[in-house]
Amino acid sequence: MITAAEPLPDTVDGEHALVLFTQMLRVRRFEEKSAEMYSKGNIRGFLHLYIGEEAVGTGIMQSVAPQDAVVATYREHGHALLRGIPMNAVMAEMFGKQEGCSRGRGGSMHLFDKATRFIGGNAIVGGGLPVAVGYALAAKMRGTDAVAWCIFGEGAMAEGEFHESLNLAELWQLPVVFCCENNFYAMGTALDRSESETRLVEKARSYRLDAEVVDGMDVLATEAAARRAADSARSGNGPYFIEFQTYRFKAHSMFDAERYRSKEEVHEHELHGPLRTFAARLSASGLLDDDKRATLEAEIAAEIEAAVAFAEAGTPEPVDDLTRFVYSEVQP
Q: 108-142 burial, b if ≥16 CB within 10 A, otherwise e?
A: bbbbbbeebbbbbbbbebbbbbbbbbbbbbebbee
Place 2 in a pLDDT band, splitting at 50, 70 and 90.
very low
Q: DSSP letter string over 75-120?
A: S-HHHHHHHT--HHHHHHHHTT-TTSTTTTSSGGG---BTTTTB--
Mean local confidence (pLDDT), 48-77: 98
Percent of the chain with pLDDT over 70: 98
Is 68 a residue whose pLDDT tops 50?
yes
pLDDT tens string 118-128: 998 999 999 99
The torsion region of residue 103 among left (phi > 0), alpha (psi -120 to 50) and beta comes to left
Any idea which fold 14-312 has?
Rossmann fold (3.40.50)
Q: Does position 331 have pLDDT exceeding 70, yes or no? A: no
C-alpha distance from residue 303 to each of 16, 31, 84, 140, 296 (Å): 21, 13, 14, 39, 11
What is the spatial distance between Cα 129 and Cα 169, in angstroms, rounded to a whole number?
10
How far is Cα 245 from Cα 235, in angstroms, rounded to an integer? 26
Residue 187 has pLDDT above 70, yes or no: yes
- Average pLDDT of the residues in 273-286: 97
Q: What is the mean pLDDT of residues 239-267?
A: 95
CA pair distance 80, 87, nearest whole angstrom? 9
CA distance 104 to 317: 8
Q: Is 6 exposed, middle or buried (0-12, 13-18, 19+ CB in 10 A)?
A: exposed
pLDDT average, residue stretch 170-195: 95
Given pLDDT bands bounded at 50, 70 and 90, which one contains residue 332? low
Please give the Cα distance from 145 to 156 (Å, whole number). 27
